[in-house]
Amino acid sequence: MSSVTRRRVLAGSLAAGGSLLVAGATRLPRAAADDATPTAGHMAHESAGTQGLIPGPSPWAPADLVEPEIRRSVDGVLETELHARYTWKDDGGYQLSMRSYEGTIPGPTLRLQPGDTLKIRFHNQLPANRDEAPRDEALPHHLNSTNFHFHGAHVSPEGISDNIFRVFEPGQSYDIEFDLPEDHPSGAYWYHPHNHGSADIQIASGMAGVVIIEGDYADVPEIAAATERVLLMNQVVFDAYRQVEGFETVFPEGATRYLTINGQREPIIRLRPGEVQRWRILHAGYQDDILMSLDGHTLLPIARDGIRLPEIGRTVGITQPAGISEAPPEAILFAPGQRVDVLVQAGAPGEYLLQALPYFQGYDAPTGPLAHVIVEGEPMEMALPTTLPPSPFADITGDELTGERQILFSRHAPEVDAAGHWREFAFLVDGELFDMHVVGQTVDLNAVEEWTITSSDEHNDHVFHIHVNPFQLVKVNGEPVEPIWLDTVIVPRGGSITFRTRFLDFTGKYVLHCHMMNHEELGMMQIVEIVAA
């Protein structure tokens, strides 16, 4: 079924006010064309109906947290290579065949300075796609084609920079180059695939890595003295063959088998009593929220989505808005794509659990242990900062605004709401499926606008993300909140968020989308084009 035909079916169903698709009439038959071939010797298959066949894990034990490899810029340039390839991963008692960067999960951490240039020679060493001519490019396809997105970075969306419309085909190599502005905010960012059709499967398989732009708190002695750790959280999914080779493996709600940090199941993080550590925490999962809490301790946020917070411990825009969740005050809610830098000061000697607490996002989010925090050894006398430097961005006032927009997120589902019918789901922006050839929003360069993203979906929360420019959240569900700068935010089910943003420095096309990647893959994305005024 062509994407044009699927779009016409969708339009007809909306006009009729009925379910998205007529049961049976337009459902696509299951076909090998929607899967990609794993490494040689692996059986190509569809994963639906196989999950119950998986044996339990082999014996395993938690191990000390391992930091990703670090690659650092020298004299203003970080020039490196990245290889996308399959790797065997021993993970929590399972041996899994996963896609990766450099054969590791996560990929290497890239460390830069504002004003640096990042040059990457990217080699796609994944095997050829099995679906040479996909029947519907609006649905998941070409699962081994990829590309590269620098999430949160204020860089050009064109050429060989943060251009997510490029496609890196299997067996080919490509150049990528990012020029960071001299005043680019220091903080935690990340990289991941963004090729429409394959990004969800690849992120679920483990393709992600952290980018640190250094210098945000170099002038705060208490933070500069803290040991820094990178904690990249992921949701582990796999099928009966211990792979991620079909969309049915990731689409069911509740598909997550367990959670990892830096590719490890329940790693051990060690501190000494009184020690202060800085944890740069990133949610690189493909779909679900994670409500994080550390027994006996308070996680104190100092930065959000790579942007300094105005005061230590501030949780506005981090925990879910009041009335949506009964989250305990010491917990932090992470949606996919979000980053929070926290300070942790160790208490009395003992073992504490960093865990994902129960949370309802329209369905039950994954729960369970994330890490074992062991406090031991000689006490340390370390202090927490009492004040933080100001945000790198000035507040956007009403007088600065040049326009406003309303955008609608919506969902349509088959009459039988089941994973096996995923081809009949649609997640829409302004009533439309994503179309690579249609611009949804045209904005003048240097415009300053207020946008309201409303969700008519009563079933799921969504996660709004826009490329290139951060935004300042000012309202949730129509009620003012203390403004906070972000690049990724939860849109409550049946609710709304309102933000203000400046469209600075760069023209070109990029996207806004739901960062629950299942939703993005099934249509919830829209092109934004910035044009010279």
Inside any domain, residue 423: no
Model confidence at 323: pLDDT above 50: no
Of 145, 179, 213, the residue at which a domain comes to its end is: 213
Residues 494, 410 contacting (CB under 8 angstroms)? no
Are both 228 and 357 inside the same structural domain? yes
What is the residue type of 461? Answer: D
* pLDDT value, residue 54: 61
pLDDT at residue number 14: 41
The secondary structure of 44-85 as a DSSP string is: P---TT-GGGPPPPPP----B--PPPEEE-BTTEEEEEEEEE
Closest CA to 490 of 288, 294, 354, 310: 288
Residues 6 or more apart whose Cβ sits within 8 Å of residue 484: 304, 309, 314, 316, 317, 472, 473
User: Domain boundary at 375, 400, 418, which?
Assistant: 375
Prior bond to 59 cis, omega within 30? no
pLDDT at 395: 97
Mean pLDDT calculated for residue range 173-183: 98
Is residue 321's pLDDT more than 50? no
Among 162, 190, 213, the domain-final residue is 213
The dihedral of CA 87, 78, 209, 471: what is its sign? negative
User: Which long-range contacts (C-beta less than 8 Å, at least 24 apart) are formed by 321-326?
Assistant: 321/476, 321/477, 321/481, 321/492, 321/495, 323/477, 324/492, 324/495, 325/291, 325/359, 325/360
- State the total domains in the chain: 2
10 or 378, greater pLDDT: 378
Cα radius of gyration (the chain): 22
- pLDDT of 315 reads 62
- Residue 456 in domain: no
**pLDDT(274) > 70:** yes
Q: How confident is the model at residue 5 (pLDDT cuts 50, 70, 90)?
A: very low
Residue the block writes with tokens 């002695």: 221
For residue 359, is it within any domain? Answer: yes
Q: Give residue 29's pLDDT.
A: 26
Q: What's the average model confidence in pLDDT over 280-297?
A: 95
Contact criterion met (CB below 8 Å) for 233 and 290: yes
| One domain, residues 209 and 317 | no
**Residue written as tokens 């992470």?**
334
Looking up residue 165, the CATH number of its domain turns out to be 2.60.40.420
* pLDDT for the residue 418: 58
Confidence class for position 9, pLDDT limits 50, 70, 90:
very low
* Cβ-based neighbours of 379, under 8 Å, separated by 6 or more: 272, 273, 274
**Does residue 69 surpass a pLDDT of 70?**
yes
- pTM: predicted TM-score of the whole model, two decimal places: 0.89
Both 283 and 319 in one domain: the answer is yes
Reduced DSSP (H G I as helix, E B as strand, rest coil) percent helix, strand, coil of the chain, to 5: 10, 40, 50
Lowest pLDDT segment from 93-107, 127-141, 380-394, 506-520: 127-141
Task: State whether 69 and 209 are in the same domain.
Answer: yes
Q: pLDDT class for 11, splitting at 50, 70, 90?
A: very low
Question: Which residue, chain included where needed, has tokens 């933070």?
Answer: 223
Give the model's pLDDT for residue 41.
27
Same domain membership, residue 168 and residue 78 = yes
Report percent pLDDT > 90 for the chain: 73
Q: Is residue 118 part of a domain?
A: yes
Out of 1-10, 79-88, 447-456, pick the least confident.
Answer: 1-10
What digits encode the pLDDT tens for the residues 331-342?
899 999 999 999
Say whether both 83 and 200 belong to one domain: yes
**Amino acid at residue number 93:** G
* SS3 assignment for 129-154: ECCCCCCCCCCCCCCCCECCEEECCC
- Whole-angstrom Cα distance, residue 70 to residue 166? 26
* 258, 167: one domain: no
More confident residue, 132 or 354: 354
Judge if 207 and 178 occupy the same domain. yes
Q: Residue with structure tokens 């933080």?
A: 388
Beta sheet of 94-101, edge-to-edge order: 94-101, 77-91, 117-124, 173-179
Percent of the chain with pLDDT over 70: 85
Looking at every residue in the chain, the average pLDDT score rounds to: 87
Domain that holds residue 261: 221-375
* Whole-number pLDDT of residue 191: 99
In a domain, 234, yes or no: yes
Per-residue pLDDT of 263-273, as tens digits, reads 999 999 999 99
Q: Are residues 119 and 243 in the same domain?
A: no
Task: Mark whether 189 and 263 lie in a shared domain.
Answer: no
Q: In this predicted structure, what is the pLDDT of residue 92? A: 86
Residues 104-159 pLDDT 10s? 999 999 999 999 999 999 999 999 998 776 667 778 899 999 999 999 999 999 99
Closest CA to 26 of 58, 1, 54, 56: 1
CB-based burial label for 151 (10 Å; 0-12, 13-18, 19+): buried
Q: How far is CA 86 from CA 119, 170, 171, 261, in A?
A: 23, 12, 13, 20
Cα–Cα distance measured from residue 50 to residue 438, given in angstroms and rounded to the nearest whole number: 38
Is residue 443 in a domain? no
- 233/406 Cα distance (integer angstroms): 32
Residue with tokens 């696509």: 28
Whether residue 146 is found in the same domain as residue 237 = no
The single residue listed with the structure tokens 């180059």 is 177
Within a domain: 391: no
Does 170 fall in a domain? yes
Whether residues 130 and 262 share a domain: the answer is no
Does pLDDT of 328 surpass 80? no
pLDDT tens for each residue of 15-47: 333 332 222 222 222 233 333 333 322 222 223
Lowest mean pLDDT among 8-12, 280-284, 437-441: 8-12
